[in-house]
Chain A
Amino acid sequence: EDKVVQSPLSLVVHEGDTVTLNCSYEVTNFRSLLWYKQEKKAPTFLFMLTSSGIEKKSGRLSSILDKKELFSILNITATQTGDSAVYLCAVELQGGSEKLVFGKGMKLTVNP
């Protein structure tokens, strides 16, 4: 069974801290790994990773994929209260299926 596991499931930090979110996966036909940020209800796209070792960056957020060890990390530096959200990791499967397999999500709370 295709599986995506995120850790930790929740984290509370202070503004200015750096956080690392982990995502490991076990799937039959990997195509890509995606990170989403979910505030309230609608997830918003952060990163799509297809190749190992290539870091993607967007402002204070960055992410990298390790296809040998089957995991990805999402880093957030100098956290702000606006970073408080649920962060979702998902794997896109190859081979005709159009679906994403999601982890349970990691709830990040950034306190002032």
Chain B
Amino acid sequence: GAGVSQSPSNKVTEKGKDVELRCDPISGHTALYWYRQSLGQGLEFLIYFQGNSAPDKSGLPSDRFSAERTGGSVSTLTIQRTQQEDSAVYLCASSLVRARPDGYTFGSGTRLTVV
């Protein structure tokens, strides 16, 4: 597609439920990143994919968070047993060239609200 597509754009879930957030990167972009933006905070790095592997997953806040990428394309971020502090906007970005942040294209994000 023309840009990075994320779905759903908004998700309201009950505390304790699992959620899946999806990211469709720009076709051919090998690098994919997930960031989280909580209210009043800056973007916080979660995980980086190069192809299907994740060389840096140091930002995942707990073992309730996991992510995968298949076919070098679509990525899914899964949050199990959601908590209220998980409420945030989850942003995905992709890049054609590894480690070139000026080449990042961000998606419009998923706003997750845990009630």
Contact = CB atoms under 8 A, between A and B. Distances in A.
Q: Do A and B bind each other?
A: yes
Contact of B43 (A32, A44, A102): A102
A58 interface: no
Nearest to A99: B45
Contacts of A101: 45
Most-contacted residue by chain B among A45, A88, A98, A105 (CB, 10 A): A98
A100 B45 contact: yes
Interface of B: 4, 31, 33, 35, 40-45, 48, 50, 55-56, 58-59, 89, 91, 98-99, 101-102, 104, 106-109, 111
Contacts of A42: 4, 91, 106-109
Most-contacted residue by chain B among A43, A99, A101, A105 (CB, 10 A): A99
B106 A104 contact: no
Contacts of A105: 42
Nearest to A9: B40
Interface residues of A, number: 22
A44 B43 CA distance: 13
B43 A90 contact: yes
Nearest to B46: A99
Given A41-B109, A48-B101, A104-B40, 17 more contacts: A40-B108, A42-B91, A42-B108, A42-B109, A43-B43, A45-B101, A88-B42, A97-B58, A98-B98, A98-B99, A99-B48, A99-B56, A101-B45, A102-B42, A102-B44, A103-B42, A105-B42
Nearest to A97: B56
A21 interface: no
Contacts of B98: 98
Contacts of A92: 99, 101
A4 interface: yes
Contact of A34 (B40, B48, B101): B101
